[in-house]
A = this chain, B = another copy of it.
Amino acid sequence: MIDNAKTTSSIKQAAEFTGLTEDTIRYYEKIGLLPYADRTASGRRAYSKRRLEGMVFLTRLKSTGMSLEEIKHFQKLYEQGETSLAQRVSILVEHKNKIENEIGRLLETQRIINYKIDNYNEVLVNPDINNTACDPIE
């Protein structure tokens, strides 16, 4: 018998691949965010490469501020098939815009923090300045 290359991964390998914990993966499946995973004959989860990549994209959406409820909604739309295509595009476009706004806010804060760091360094060099830009939060 030919030793077929293994084509699926255990939950442990899925956790390593995605950076999620095994508990989190089971939790996501439980709440319907991830589709019910295929199982081996003995009932253990077996993930295809494609599913693993799907999970990575999902963690991307999460790490860029999409809530589990929204991700779950997106997943459910996918399961409805191609009738939901336009709706899925609009969710992605909206999320893209949200990311754009977020990047803008981060850049602005970065600018402000840089300004503060400069002021702090001035005061560190010359403690007599007593620069108000060093105030805790201002």
Binding site for B on A (CB under 8 A): 50, 53-58, 60-61, 63-64, 71, 74-75, 77-79, 82, 85-86, 88-89, 92-93, 95-96, 99-100, 102-103, 105-107, 109-110, 112-114, 116-117, 120-121, 123-124, 127, 134-138
Kindly report which residue of chain B lies nearest to residue A58, judged by CB atoms. Answer: B137
Number of identical protomers: 2
Contact among B55, B75, B99 with A106 in the assembled complex (CB-CB below 8 Å): B99
The answer to whether B53 and A138 have CB atoms under 8 Å apart is yes
Known: A85-B134, A117-B93. A110 touches B99 (CB 8 A): yes
A116 surroundings in chain B (CB, below 8 A): 92
How distant is A56 from chain B, measured CB to nearest CB, in Å?
Answer: 8
